[in-house]
Amino acid sequence: MAFDPATPLFFFRHGETFYNAEGRIQGQLDTPLSPRGREQAVEAGHKLGEALAAHGIGLDTPGWFASPLSRASETMILARRALAIPEDDFKRDGRLMEISFGAWQDLTWPEIGARDPGGFAARKSDFWHFRPPGGENYADVADRVRAFLDEIAGPTVVAAHGGVARALMTLIGGVKPEDTPGMPIHQGRLLVFTDGRGRWI
């Protein structure tokens, strides 16, 4: 079944990690939230409660899903705690994992530019389709996120990653893949998709 664009989807990115603070690439490495990231998760939970209420959706109505990487799952746990609902009552779905950066994981962008200048330049010229050595491209991520969306039957809450947010923006937010480089993906805020567009609150 295809995703119904009228179905509201509430997305929040995991809170800040120590890798985020250092500008280091995580990809599918399992990295923990920083203290600031845990605060952002609580902020996202409060925004989520307000948004669900504004849409007339009860807390027990949506499907709740998170990436199995701990920074996203912990963000979901903290957001649900902020809403005073059972913390671990959500599904972890591997299709919501961050894009894999392969051999580039655990490096900073300056380190990548120095070690792999050709790949670094190739990514700049074709952001959506370039795959780092041993990694994925954003089209790959969009394929697995599309498969996830096709199983959704009603309002949904997702806690995941920047790469998943970019995929969602192209699949259900009206953004072209070529317009995704440099697109801000906020932490501590909520991205609401409905009727073929996405907006940050």
> Mind telling me the catalytic residues?
14, 98
Give the span between the Cα atoms of 24 and 60, in whole angstroms. 37
- Find all residues with CB under 8 Å of 96, minimum gap 6, and list them: 65, 66, 67, 68, 72, 145, 148, 158, 160, 161, 164
Give the span between the Cα atoms of 68 and 52, in whole angstroms. 23
26: buried, middle or exposed (CB in 10 Å: 19+, 13-18, 0-12)? buried
